[in-house]
Structure 1
Amino acid sequence: MAFGADELRVLRRALAVALHPVPLADHDVQECLRLADSVDEAVREAGRLRAFLLADLARYRDALPGTATGYLERLQDALAAGYDPRPDDLAALRSLRGNPAAAAVLRRCQELAERSVRSRLAGRTVTVPAPATPAGPRRARLLALPGGRAADEPKPKPQPKPPAPDERPVPKPSEVFPPRRKPVPPPGQWAVG
């Protein structure tokens, strides 16, 4: 996530107020709330992107062995982003063991899976080591903290959902597309035999 110059100005002001509380003008509060909404939307978008990438990884895994190259690329990207390899991934990589790249990814996934299992058994959180080849800059996760003026404002009441529209029957194809009628020739062209 990258901040623009205006967003950094708002963020710097909000951090200064957090360290040295002073009353804020309503305009400044509104800017902070807009920035918080933007950050929340970016976090939601990151979640949607992660779900899409995991579904894409599953599609490539299901289409193996024909998609080996694409699957390995997506799996390495997922591992770099902190993905915990599943048993399906290990089985898929074992089936590609003849591929040197797949064998290297399999070794890495086995190490990560073993650490994950040991950590879960020990009751700790899992720390994923950095990949051997960096896939891009790693970013820290932002967390929203409760408090501030937004916590004092009354929360809006949820609006009731409108009632569902009545179910209409689905029309038959013959109702939507009536049968074609043969064209009738004009009366003067009747053949007399």
Structure 2
Amino acid sequence: MAFSADELRVLRRALAIALHPAPLPDEDVQDCLRLAGAVDEAVSEAGRLRAFLLADLVRYRDALPGSVGGYLELLQDALAGGYDPCPEDLAALRALRSRPVAASLLERCQVLAERSVRARLAGRATPTAAPAPRSRLLALPGGRAADTDPERPKAPAAPPKPAQPSERPAAPKPSEVFPPRRPVPPPQQRAAG
């Protein structure tokens, strides 16, 4: 995941506030909430891409031997993303082991499969799917509440509106996530005289 210069600025401020709580202006709170939303969307998109990759992998595996090149490439991508090879992958690679790429992938997948089995037998779960999305950021410690009167009772926060089943969350526009850069005017030179 890559951050723009503006997003890094917001992240740096948020980390500084987390380390040294202080009151935040409303604009900083909104910037932090926007950044948290962008990170949530990126994590969600990564999960969707992973699901798409794994579905493609199954389609290519089912179409073997005609889809050898695509299958081996997709399997390499999936393994790089933390995919735990299944028995069908091992069987397909054994059938293709006359190819050098398939033979090296078979060795790699056998090691990963053995490690996964040992982990399950030892009672540890191995990640086989995308991590669960993190909870939404609702408030920052030391934010706007820090500059209010401690004697004054705080109003309860309104619960977030649940999404309707037919509604999809609105994805931010690229211009919202990565605001356009404003050109910096060249410094004016003084005329001697």
Normalised by the length of structure 2, the TM-score is: 0.69
RMSD of the TM alignment (CA)? 2.6
1:24 equivalenced with 2:24 (yes/no):
yes
1:53 equivalenced with 2:53 (yes/no):
yes
1:94 to partner: Cα distance: 1.3
1:84 equivalenced with 2:84 (yes/no):
yes
Q: Percent identity?
A: 69
Deviations 1:71-107 (A, max 9, x none): 1111011111110001111111111122222111111
Structure-1 separation of matches of 2:34 and 2:119: 39
Structure with the bigger RCO (C-alpha within 8 Å, sep 6+) is 2
Among candidates 160, 165, 168, match of residue 156 of structure 1: 160
Gaps of 5+ in 2: 128-132, 142-155, 167-193
Question: CA 1:145–1:18 in 2, change beyond 3 Å: closer, same or farther?
Answer: farther
Structure-2 separation of matches of 1:74 and 1:159: 34
Query: Residues 33 and 137 of structure 2 are in contact (CA less than 8 Å); yes or no, is this contact kept in structure 1?
Result: no
Q: Equivalent residue for 2:37?
A: 37
Structure-2 separation of matches of 1:153 and 1:6: 29
Structure-2 separation of matches of 1:160 and 1:86: 36
**Residue aligned with 2:45, SS:** helix
Aligned residues between the structures: 148
Normalised by the length of structure 1, the TM-score is: 0.69
Shift >6 Å, 4+ stretches? 159-162
For the pair shown, which has the larger CA radius of gyration, 1 or 2?
Answer: 1
Query: Residues 61 and 89 of structure 2 are in contact (CA less than 8 Å); yes or no, is this contact kept in structure 1?
Result: yes
Counterpart of 1:18, as a letter, is A
Query: Residues 40 and 134 of structure 2 are in contact (CA less than 8 Å); yes or no, is this contact kept in structure 1?
Result: no
Gaps of 5+ in 1: 128-141, 163-193
Query: Residues 115 and 126 of structure 1 are in contact (CA less than 8 Å); yes or no, is this contact kept in structure 2?
Result: no
